[in-house]
Chains A and B, each alone.
Chain A
Amino acid sequence: MSPDDLLYTKEHEWLRIADNGGTVGITDHAQKELGDIVYVELPKTGTKFNSGETFGSVESVKAVSELYIPVSGEVIEVNEDLGSAPENINEDPYGTGWMIRIRLLNKSETEDLMSAEEYDEYTSEGK
């Protein structure tokens, strides 16, 4: 069961909303599918992305996958620890494996994201 205080994308990112900001990472399902993550490429603070745009990539022993931003936002903080400890994404995807914090540019976009229940149903369909 995915944490029910988060919102989810079809591309397996999660978004945690707090005040005006949001934290973004990838889901437990995503890290399992990817396998051991060995490298993460993240944007610089201050970069702005529209909803659904690529904000970085993760490299596992299997493949390189793009990261898609769940909602439009400006990057205000990047998890620099992942540079030397990418395994945090495997070990604690909703905690120390967080990737970026953003300032939301259009809050209404969160309505397009899935709840934990919807996401779990989505992944159980083999997506």
Chain B
Amino acid sequence: MSKQERAAGHFSINESLLFEEGSPGRRAFDLSPLDVPLKQMGDLMDPELLRGEIDGMPELSEVDVIRHFTRLSTWNYHIDLGLYPLGSCTMKYNPKINERVARLEGFAFAHPYLPAQMIQGALEVQKTLEDCLAEISGMDAITLQPAAGAHGELTGILMVRAYHESRGNPRRSILIPDSAHGTNPASAAIAGYVVESVPSNKRGTIDIGALQKIVNHEVAAIMITNPNTLGIFESEIAEITELLHRQGALVYMDGANLNALMGMTRPGDFGIDVLHINLHKTFTTPHGGGGPGAGPVAVKKVLEPFLPYPVIESKTDGTYSFNYDRPHSIGRIKAYNGQFGMHVRALCYILANGAEGLKEVSEVAVLNANYIRSKLKSAYALAYDSASLHEVVFSDRLQARKDVHVWDIAKRLMDYGFHPPTVSFPLIVPGAIMIEPTESESRQELDAFVQAMLAIDTEAEQNPEIVKSAPHTTRVGRIDEAAAARKPILRWRAG
């Protein structure tokens, strides 16, 4: 199959809103005959509190609803359709066995208010996942509560604050490298800290000389991503953690890129005190709008007293219980004990792979990124020469000479049947193109992507207009993003 054949034309049905469809009397359900006396709602509660009929509520049959959502789904590009190489966001295939296990009756229908003795299996899943994550990360204790990576960051920094407060001084600032995810400074600020930026050196890693100048007794912690958002391993991480520890500061790791490290090295072994783990990025749970998030936080012993409560404890008789008696805890940060369904999926992936399998996951993720790096580096400028791990960052420098920019390249990729990679991030790389293929992809899929990228480079040289006006084959052509943001139309219909 040639690259032109990959994205073929296919009909795509224009779809109205559900509110514009239907007809009076249509139903998608059929209730049994009433076998108890009829009561009006107004007899059972204050009629003032009742809402009348919703104006224009559509009446639809089952097939109306199924077709509506199926048609909308065909407008979508998703990981089950093809490569989705969003660097840093890590869109990887979610094995279907995860879904099957998460739908087992005992998991899917366990009510969160059931007492612990009735959900022993669910608690065993959570405790086992905690133990697995602790072993993979080299940390001592885990909370599964945070509902997303950024929520995990906030949880971790609140624990950092609680730790310093317990020693008499919460301290003033959090240090964050200039290549960091934008959520890092946001989390630090919400936890009440001043953010100080740490510059990167020419290799794309933390500038230790600059770091030495700003570390002092008022620094609460540094937030490090390792490998960082350039896909580069912070090779001086041991010196960095030691530098911080000497001043009594802690080291937080954004574990977003843990998928590059499994079985190779452990954050706990290179001096990290607290890290969050994005389950979707490393352990194949749904991502973004695809499902609720989960951002467990792992800590060393010194931070263990501050974990959110309750914590799951295994008792000597082999049963599990919730412990709420945690006087130093930062408190509850999420209802119940986090997004349980995500915990089931992550544990399923961990157990299905086993220790050797997880190591291979990281090896293949790194191999795939380096395959793309090696195939594209003659056409696209590498942002940094340093070795890449699980993702590779190019810049649009060579194409920009023809006034073809990263957003043009990204949009043109859609014409070739791919979701674009992450663009314009990390912010320290002008015109960044950040590609993360993940371990899921075959060589054939990677080759098709490489062919598309090389074809776009040739077009940028010979026919830049076709790139600059892309996409041409999508349902919707190039959108005026500036006008959409400056003068947004927020209503379905005017008036």
Interface residues of A (CB under 8 A from B): 33, 35-39, 59, 61-65, 86-87, 126
User: Does A36 contact B482, Cβ atoms closer than 8 Å?
Assistant: yes
Please, what's the 1-or-0 string for B171-186, where 1 marks a CB less than 8 Å from any CB in chain A? 0000000000010000
- Report the Cα distance A65→B481, complex, angstroms: 17
User: Does A38 contact B482, Cβ atoms closer than 8 Å?
Assistant: yes
Q: Can you identify 26 A-B contacts, CB atoms within 8 angstroms?
A: A33-B430, A35-B407, A35-B482, A36-B481, A36-B482, A36-B485, A37-B482, A38-B482, A38-B485, A38-B486, A39-B485, A59-B485, A61-B481, A61-B482, A61-B485, A62-B407, A62-B424, A63-B424, A63-B425, A63-B427, A64-B182, A65-B427, A86-B486, A87-B482, A87-B486, A126-B430
Most buried by A among B430, B481, B482: B482
Chain B positions within 8 Å of A87 at CB level? 482, 486
- Report the Cα distance A121→B49, complex, angstroms: 69
- Report the Cα distance A2→B482, complex, angstroms: 25
- Report the Cα distance A39→B481, complex, angstroms: 13
- Report the Cα distance A61→B411, complex, angstroms: 14
Question: Nearest chain-B residue to A65 (Cβ)?
Answer: B427
Chain A positions within 8 Å of B430 at CB level? 33, 126
Interface residues of B (CB under 8 A from A): 182, 407, 424-425, 427, 430, 481-482, 485-486
- Report the Cα distance A64→B481, complex, angstroms: 15
- Report the Cα distance A46→B114, complex, angstroms: 56
B483 CB to nearest chain A CB (Å): 9
B199 CB to nearest chain A CB (Å): 11
- Report the Cα distance A35→B481, complex, angstroms: 11
Question: Nearest chain-B residue to A61 (Cβ)?
Answer: B481
Question: Nearest chain-A residue to B395 (Cβ)?
Answer: A126
B24 CB to nearest chain A CB (Å): 43
Chain A positions within 8 Å of B182 at CB level? 64
- Report the Cα distance A65→B197, complex, angstroms: 14
Chain A positions within 8 Å of B486 at CB level? 38, 86-87
Chain A positions within 8 Å of B407 at CB level? 35, 62
B87 CB to nearest chain A CB (Å): 15
New A-B pairs, 14, CB < 8 Å, besides A36-B481, A37-B482, A59-B485: A33-B430, A35-B407, A38-B482, A38-B486, A39-B485, A61-B485, A62-B424, A63-B424, A63-B425, A63-B427, A64-B182, A87-B482, A87-B486, A126-B430
- Report the Cα distance A33→B396, complex, angstroms: 12
- Report the Cα distance A84→B425, complex, angstroms: 28
- Report the Cα distance A63→B481, complex, angstroms: 12
- Report the Cα distance A87→B480, complex, angstroms: 14
Chain B positions within 8 Å of A63 at CB level? 424-425, 427
Q: Which 9 A-B pairs have the closest CB atoms?
A: A36-B482, A38-B485, A61-B481, A62-B424, A38-B486, A61-B482, A38-B482, A63-B424, A61-B485
- Report the Cα distance A63→B424, complex, angstroms: 8
Chain A positions within 8 Å of B427 at CB level? 63, 65
- Report the Cα distance A65→B427, complex, angstroms: 9
A73 CB to nearest chain B CB (Å): 20
- Report the Cα distance A112→B51, complex, angstroms: 65
Question: Nearest chain-B residue to A34 (Cβ)?
Answer: B424
- Report the Cα distance A46→B407, complex, angstroms: 40
Question: Nearest chain-A residue to B425 (Cβ)?
Answer: A63
- Report the Cα distance A28→B481, complex, angstroms: 20
B185 CB to nearest chain A CB (Å): 9
A52 CB to nearest chain B CB (Å): 11
Question: Nearest chain-B residue to A84 (Cβ)?
Answer: B486
- Report the Cα distance A62→B425, complex, angstroms: 9
Chain B positions within 8 Å of A37 at CB level? 482
Chain A positions within 8 Å of B485 at CB level? 36, 38-39, 59, 61
